[in-house]
Each structure stands twice: as C-alpha cells, then as structure tokens.
Amino acid sequence: MTKSKVFWATIAPTAAILNSLLFVSIILLFRGVNPLEIFQLMISYGFDPRNVVSEINATVAYYLAGVAAAIGFKMLLFNIGIDGQYRMGAFFGGVVGAAVNLPPVLHVLVIVMTAMLAGGLWAAIAGYLKVRRGVSEVISNIMLNFIAAAIIAFLLSPNLLGSLPPGSQNVQTKPIPLSGQMPTFKMFGGEVYSFLFVAIFVGVAYWIMLNKTVFGFNLRATGLSFRAARASGVNAPGMIFVTTVLSGAIAGLVGIGTLLSDTHSYSMSFPSGFAFTGLALALLGRNHPVGIFFAAFLWSFLERAAPVLEFEGVPPEIVIVMQGTIVLSIVVAYEIVARINLKQQQRAVGEANVEALTEKEAK
Amino acid sequence: MTTKTSAALKPASKMKSFFKSPARITILIAGLFLIISIVEAITGAVDITSPGTSGATLRFAIPLLMAGLGGLWAERAGVINIGLEGMMIVGTWTAAWFGYLHGPLVGFAAAAIFGLLSGFFHAVLTVKVGIDQAVSGLAINLIAAGGARYLSGIFFPAAGGDRTVSPPVDSFPTFTVPIIAPLLESIDKANIFFISNLAGILLGVTKDISLVTVALLLFVPLTSWILWRSKFGLRMRFSGENPMAAESLGINVYRIRYIAVSISGMFASLGGAYLALVASSVYREGQTAGRGFIGLATVIFGNWRPSGVFAGSILFGFTDALRVRQSESVMSLVFAAAIICSILTIFYAISRRWKPAGISAIGALITIWIHQSVDVMPSEFVTVFPNVATLIVLTFLAQRLTPPAMVGMPYKRGSE
C-alpha cells in the first residue's frame, strides 16, 4: 500500500522532469548542439564542489519559499505574494538588525523575528482582503508585490533608512554589526550558511504542525472542504487568515540566510522572482517537506550549472524555459494521474456492484 | 428573499443610473477639468494639460488597454489570464524580430499570430487539460521571458543588435488631423483660461499620432459590440457566468473558451507589439515592465467592461506619462485632489450624509498634508499608483464589482 503510494507520488515529478528534458533537447537540436553532451557538461559543472556550496546556499532560500507556498497550498491558497513578503522580511530584518545593539544570539533572534513579523504582516493585508472582502488572493498579492518593491525602493534612499557606502553605487541598509551576524561553516571547501539549520528546522516544524497538531488538522480540513470544516466547528475564515499570515512569516525568512551570513545588509541587488519559484517547488515537491527539498536543490542546481552553457554557444536562459516546462509538465501529470485514479476507483466500484449483484442472483 | 436582493441591488443601481446618464458624465468631466485648469492657473505648472502629456498618455495607455482587453476577453469567458505579461513579451519579441526582417507591418502580423498561439496554449492547458489557471499563466510568463532572452541571445547579436536589444525597426508613419490640429495649436498658444487647456489636451491626441493607435483603439467599441450585441458575445458571457447551464442549452463552452482565450493572447501580444514598434523602435529586455499585470488591474478597475478598461488604461497611462515627464505636475494633481475632497466634504455635509463627508474630509486633510510637506512626489509612488488604486477599489468597492461569476473556476464537461 505504502509502496504504491510512494510510486504514485514520485511518478508524476519524474515524468515531468523527463518531459522537460525532452523538450529542451529538441530546442538544443535546433541550435545544432548535442543535448546529451550539454546535459553531461551541466552535471559535471553543477557538481563541482565550489558550485555545490553556492547551490546549497541557494537551496536554503528556495526551500523556505517552497515551504511558504506549500502552507498556502494546503489551504488552497495561492500565495503569489511570497516575493513581496520576502522583500519586506529581508529589508526590515536588515534595518532593525543594524539599528539595535544586543548580545550575539539574542541579536540574531531579534532579526529573525522581525523578518517573520514583517513578512507575516504584509501577508495579513491579503489575508484580510480575502476573508473580509472576498478579494482573490492572487490579484491582491500581485498588486502587493509591486507595492512592496516600491515602498522599499523609497525607504532605501540614503536620507531615509538606506545608506550609500563610499565608492559604491548600490544603496543598501546600514550594515548589521558582528553580534547580529550568523557564522558559516566549511563544507566542500566553501562557506555554507548556518541558516541551513533554520531551514531544516522549519521543514521539520512544518511536517509536525501539519500532521501532529490540532491546528494542522484544522488547516488540512479547511483546505479539503471549507464548508465541512466550518460545519464541524472549525473557524474556517480565521484559519484562512492565520494560514496566510503563517505562510507570509515563513516567506519573510527567505532572504535572511544571505542577509545574516553573507551581505549583512539589504540592497536592491537581492534576487526577485521567489513567488513563482516557491509555488513551483511546492507543486514539484507535492507540499511534502522532503519533496520540496529535492525540488529546491534541483532548481538551484539548474541555475548554478547554467553559465557553463555560454561556452557552448547556448544562451543560459534556456534553463528558465526548462523550469517553466517542468512546472507545466508536473501539473499536467498530476491531472492525468488524478484522472487515472478516478477511473480505477470507478471501475473498482463498478466491479464490486456487479459482484454484489451476481451474489444476490446466486442466492 | 426578493426584498433582500432588491436591497442589496439598490446602491449599485443608484450608482449605475448616476454614471449612465451622458449629461452627468460630461458635467463631471468638465468640473474635474475646470478644477485642474484653476490649479494650473494658480501654480503656474502647465504640464498636465500640455499636448506632450496627453500624447504620452495615449502612447502609454495603448499597451495597457490591449492587455486589459485581453484580460477582459479571457475573464468574460471564465478563464483568468495571468499570462498576459508573458504574452506581451511574445508580442514585443516577435514584432521586433519580424519587423526587422520584413518591415513593421509584418511585425504586427507576426505578433498577432504568435499571440494567438500563446493564448491557444493557455486555453489548451486550462480548458482541455484543466490545470490551475494561475499556474498555467505564471508558467507562460516564465517561459515567455526565458524564451525571449534565449532567442535574443541567438538572433540579435548576429543581426547588429545586442543580447538584450534587437536591431532597430523602421517606424510607422504618423499623421496629423488636418484643419483641426492647427486650429487647436493656435488656441493652445493663445493661453486663454480653460479653453487653451482643453485645446492642449486635444492637440496631443490629434497631432502626429500613429495609425496603429487609431486602429487599436477601435478594438474597444468592437469588443463592446461583440460582448453585448452579438450571439457569440452572449454565449461568451454565459460561459463565464454559468458554464454548466450554458452547456445544457447546447453551447459548446470549450470552443467558446478556446476562441476567447486565444483572442486574449492576441490582444496582449498586440499591446506588446505596440511597445516595441510604436512607443519605441526596438525590443528591449524587460520592456513590458509588469504592464501585463497592470492590464489585469484595469479589468478589475473597469468592472469587466470595455469602456471601463479603456478609462482605467487612460488613467494608468496618465500616471505613467507623468512619471516620465515632470514630478511637479504630480504635486498639482495632489492639490487638485485636495480641492475635490473639500468640495465633496461640503457637498456631503449639506446633504447630511456624515459617513462619506467624514471620509472625504480625511482625504482632504491627507492630500493637503502631503502637498504641504512633500516637495517632489517620489517616482516610486507614481509608478505603483495603478497597483494601489486597484487594491483600494478592491477593498472598498468589492461588493459593487460584478466579475463573471465562474471566473477562474475550472469547468469539466459532465462534472458538477
């Protein structure tokens, strides 16, 4: 039983990745290069120890975005606002971290809490609009992403919360002092963020929360059927709001690894596009903490291995196309698997009915 | 039940009758315009009603309008199209590349065809396969952005362009409306209060305008006619409101949605083509800059009506034009908003409606405060005005909006 469950859970992602590889191969053939050679090159470059370290660090951020999206998905919420929530978290984490002066561990804790609070509060706007005003979270979050970016761009100006280090063109928040920084540790000859452990903790906590707590049960119940959950005494609108805020709080952590262990200040050069990535990873990993991890590693692997394509005359942006087709293939594959399962169930019910009838006639 | 529905409908129908009357709308616009003229006379900033601003407004509004019409077509048929941004990218790229090879007209035709295909792709995924409409749209955005960058890297450097910029394309001929435009120009120069301001605005939309602009504008009345006067439009709206009932009356919902979503892609793509060929003369990476999403916002802002989408795109295009031109004019607009809020406060106070009076009084205080304390409006806030405005509309007017009832819901034939 569990074996077939694992089979059905992994067949769709595997099929999706293979389908995407096939699609990209065709594009590469048009370019006149051998796709197998290209993939081989990407693998050897991507597993180069130096690149593995930066892949692990990128995985930390992607993983948190994926978990944030998965929390939303469990409630049938489409949290496309992860991008804005992450920006708010990283920005205010950076601002508060530079402004306060605390003993080492407490300082980091305050930054992390601020980031979660900022991300959660920003998500709360969408949650409020959804619960009280019936506004689709997709539309409100798209608008909120743009607004978050504008607010931060405004606040980052040097005479407000930002600063312009001498000899630099890049406005950024003031640097976080040593007590608020997080150490890195050596692995494969590189520096891995110790925020990795926070990400692992978040993954474990997500699994326990979902499967072992009353809150998680209510969350899943509301996601499966809003009305049934409400009828059995769950405060379903309240659950939607809390879930949105929780998802936003996790999204607020996405940029913190880079902030605390690498840059020590937030700037406009922080990457964007985490919303779609998070949703894609949650879909690919089936909202499961382990599945999301593999998906996140795949994503950062593809991104870090892409630059090598340049030497072969292939624009590295092909990787973006590949990521997009993986997502489309995965949702199509889930749809097909669901249809097959439905058909099997219907057949099973039909056969049971026939059996029951023949038994009746035999009597 | 009946009393409940009629009570719920009352404010909406009241609003409707107020805005439906053409005379009222004319008076409102004239009043608004008078206030802006007064502000310009007081502050001495004349950029709001200059021909340059109105011309730029139109140029910035057309891409938003086309994206908005695209969103409208898809959503009226019941499919939400978040892939508008990606479809616009398809338009900018194909228009620039085919325009470079065979001239701008072919560029436009290519953008229409590839846009149609991208819309059809979205339709296959959401209608036939039945995957989540938001996932499909987002994936299309990603694939279009990545694909455009990939293809630019291959084709443009060899053709004298850059990895991110296409080689330049010939521009379209422009024309000036004879007799009227010179007349307006002389009135604008005469500097008469109110009349010159009006002439300035009209001059901007009659002098040196592209034929493409006029052609694309015609899609607004055409969409209106199709939606409310044609058999296909009725079926399309029916598919968005209640696909199951539509199917039970013999309407092929799948086919309607295929057509509507494909056309949606074509419109968005034409908006992109306009950006590449008329608003500029090259494809540039990141040229669409989130305009597809603002197009989505105009659909909400325009309450799922072609005329509303048009009004929304003009408003958002205007803010875009102000952003590039002068930030002082934004401050005179804030001043105008303060005057309007004060007038509304007095109006509501006289008619003893205290709640709206209070809200407009707060609005007046905030705008006056902004005008007094801020010298130059930060460009970031001008840029996100459309997004903020849409959120405000959704927050306070969500109950008055009338989106298609089943928009975003997957529909499978034969299921409940």
Cβ within 8 Å, pair B146-A317? yes
Cβ within 8 Å, pair A315-B82? no
E-only strand ranges, B282-390: none
Predicted pLDDT at B255: 95
Tens of pLDDT, residue by residue over A189-228, are 788 898 999 999 999 999 999 999 999 999 989 888 888 8
In a mutational test of the A interface, the residue from B79, B152, B377, B384 whose CB has the highest number of chain A CBs within 10 Å is B384
Asked if A276 has any chain B CB less than 8 Å from its own CB, the reply is yes
Is it the case that residue A359 has pLDDT exceeding 50? Answer: yes
Strand, helix or coil at B375?
coil
Q: Report the residue from B143, B381, B395 with minimal CB separation from A129.
A: B395
Report how far residue B48's alpha carbon sits from residue B318's, in angstroms, rounded to the nearest whole number.
9
Residue B239's CB: how many other CB atoms inside 10 A?
A: 27
Q: Report the residue from B141, B150, B408 with minimal CB separation from A318.
A: B150
Tens of pLDDT, residue by residue over B195-252, are 887 888 888 888 788 888 999 999 999 999 999 999 999 999 999 999 999 999 999 9
Predicted pLDDT at A240: 92
Q: Report the residue from A133, A276, A324 with minimal CB separation from B395.
A: A133
How many angstroms away from the CA of B35 is the closest CA of chain A?
29
Residue A60's CB: how many other CB atoms inside 10 A?
A: 27
Which among B187-201, B255-269, B394-408 has the top mean pLDDT? B255-269
- Could you tell me which of B21, B60, B54, B13 has the C-alpha nearest to residue B298? B60
Cβ within 8 Å, pair B135-A321? no
- Alpha-helical segments (H) within B77-103: 84-102
Cβ within 8 Å, pair B390-A139? yes
Cβ within 8 Å, pair B147-A335? no
Cβ within 8 Å, pair B131-A323? no
**Whole-Å CA distances, B326 to A147, A174, A261, B384, B390:** 21, 31, 42, 16, 23
Tens of pLDDT, residue by residue over B132-167, are 898 899 999 999 999 999 999 999 988 888 888 999
Chain A contacts of B388, Cβ < 8 Å? 143, 147
Interface of A with B in 162-181 (CB under 8 A): none
Residue of B nearest to A326 (CA): B139
The region of weakest confidence among A6-20, A62-76, B67-81, B148-162 is A6-20
Q: Report the residue from B80, B146, B152 with minimal CB separation from A321.
A: B146
Report how far residue A125's alpha carbon sits from residue A139's, in angstroms, rounded to the nearest whole number.
12
Tens of pLDDT, residue by residue over B91-103, are 999 999 999 999 9
- Could you tell me which of B104, B107, B66 has the C-alpha nearest to residue B87? B66
Report how far residue A89's alpha carbon sits from residue A95's, in angstroms, rounded to the nearest whole number.
10
Mean per-residue pLDDT over chain A, rounded: 89
Say what the alpha-carbon torsion angle A63, A137, B75, B261 is, to the nearest 10 degrees: 0
How many CA atoms are closer than 13 Å to the CA of B46, on its beta-carbon side?
Answer: 17
Type of residue found at A161? L
Cβ within 8 Å, pair A279-B149? no
In a mutational test of the A interface, the residue from B87, B135, B413 whose CB has the highest number of chain A CBs within 10 Å is B135
Predicted pLDDT at B74: 96
| Confidence category of residue B326, pLDDT binned at 50, 70, 90 | low
Mean per-residue pLDDT over chain B, rounded: 85
**Cα distance from N-terminal residue to C-terminal residue, chain B:** 25
**Whole-Å CA distances, A136 to A77, A139, B67:** 9, 6, 20
Predicted pLDDT at A340: 85
Asked if A201 has any chain B CB less than 8 Å from its own CB, the reply is no
Which residue matches tokens 């370019």? A31
Predicted pLDDT at B205: 81
Contact A46, A299 (CB under 8 A): no
Chain A contacts of B142, Cβ < 8 Å? 276, 320, 323-324, 327
Is it the case that residue B21 has pLDDT exceeding 70? Answer: no
Contact B279, B372 (CB under 8 A): no
Asked if B390 has any chain A CB less than 8 Å from its own CB, the reply is yes
Report how far residue B202's alpha carbon sits from residue B188's, in angstroms, rounded to the nearest whole number.
10
Tell me the percentage of chain B whose pLDDT exceeds 70.
Answer: 92
How many angstroms away from the CA of B133 is the closest CA of chain A?
11
Q: Are strands B174-175 and B209-210 parallel, antiparallel or unpaired?
A: antiparallel
Q: Are strands B174-175 and A190-193 parallel, antiparallel or unpaired?
A: unpaired
Helix axes B51-76, B306-324, angle to 10 degrees: 140
Contact B100, B160 (CB under 8 A): no
Q: Report the residue from A138, A283, A320 with minimal CB separation from B146.
A: A320
Predicted pLDDT at A172: 86
| Confidence category of residue A162, pLDDT binned at 50, 70, 90 | confident
Report the sign of the C-alpha dihedral through residues B336, B341, B347, B349, in that order: negative
Chain B contacts of A328, Cβ < 8 Å? 125, 131, 135-136, 139, 143
Q: Pick B29 or A114 by higher pLDDT.
A: A114
The region of weakest confidence among A152-156, A256-260, B320-324 is B320-324
Tens of pLDDT, residue by residue over A83-111, are 999 999 999 999 999 998 888 889 999 99
Residue of B nearest to A310 (CA): B153
- Could you tell me which of B47, B136, B20 has the C-alpha nearest to residue A283? B136
Is it the case that residue A358 has pLDDT exceeding 90? Answer: no
Report how far residue A258's alpha carbon sits from residue A236's, in angstroms, rounded to the nearest whole number.
36
SS (H, E, C) A194-207: CHHHHHHHHHHHHH
| Confidence category of residue B70, pLDDT binned at 50, 70, 90 | very high
Report how far residue B143's alpha carbon sits from residue A321's, in angstroms, rounded to the nearest whole number.
5
Is it the case that residue A280 has pLDDT exceeding 70? Answer: yes
Chain B contacts of A319, Cβ < 8 Å? 146
- Record the tokens describing residue A204, joined without a space: 């474990």
Predicted pLDDT at B22: 64
Strand, helix or coil at B33?
helix
How many angstroms away from the CA of A318 is the closest CA of chain B?
6
Contact B309, B68 (CB under 8 A): yes
Helix axes B51-76, B253-274, angle to 10 degrees: 160
Is it the case that residue B46 has pLDDT exceeding 80? Answer: no
Tens of pLDDT, residue by residue over B352-410, are 888 888 888 888 888 888 888 777 777 788 888 888 888 888 888 777 788 888 888 88
Asked if A331 has any chain B CB less than 8 Å from its own CB, the reply is yes
Residue of B nearest to A136 (CA): B394
Q: Calculate mean pLDDT across residues B183-195.
A: 79
Inter-chain contacts counted by CB atoms under 8 A, chains A and B = 119
Q: Calculate mean pLDDT across residues A331-353.
A: 86
Strand, helix or coil at A193?
strand
Cβ within 8 Å, pair A146-B80? no
Predicted pLDDT at A95: 93
| Confidence category of residue A360, pLDDT binned at 50, 70, 90 | confident
Asked if A279 has any chain B CB less than 8 Å from its own CB, the reply is yes
Q: Report the residue from B131, B139, B153 with minimal CB separation from A315.
A: B153
Q: Pick A38 or B327 by higher pLDDT.
A: A38
Give the total residue count for chain A: 363
- Could you tell me which of A126, A116, A163, A164 has the C-alpha nearest to residue A147? A126
Q: Calculate mean pLDDT across residues A114-119.
A: 96
**Whole-Å CA distances, B181 to A181, B52, B205, B215:** 65, 14, 9, 19
How many angstroms away from the CA of A47 is the closest CA of chain B?
24
Cβ within 8 Å, pair B141-A147? no
| Confidence category of residue B413, pLDDT binned at 50, 70, 90 | confident
* Residues whose CB falls within 8 Å of the CB of residue B140, separated by 6 or more in sequence, listed in order: A324, B83, B86, B87, B118, B121, B122
Asked if B342 has any chain A CB less than 8 Å from its own CB, the reply is no
Give the total residue count for chain B: 416
How many angstroms away from the CA of A330 is the closest CA of chain B?
10
From the number of C-beta atoms within 10 Å of its C-beta (0-12, 13-18, 19+), residue A213 rates as exposed
Chain A contacts of B383, Cβ < 8 Å? 150
Say what the alpha-carbon torsion angle B408, B115, B65, B400 is, to the nearest 10 degrees: -10
Q: Report the residue from A135, A146, A151 with minimal CB separation from B398.
A: A135
Cβ within 8 Å, pair A154-B395? no
Contact B289, A146 (CB under 8 A): no
| Confidence category of residue A167, pLDDT binned at 50, 70, 90 | confident
Predicted pLDDT at B13: 46
Q: What is the ipTM of this complex?
A: 0.87
Predicted pLDDT at A338: 83
Tell me the percentage of chain A whose pLDDT exceeds 90.
Answer: 46
Helix axes A82-99, A49-74, angle to 10 degrees: 110
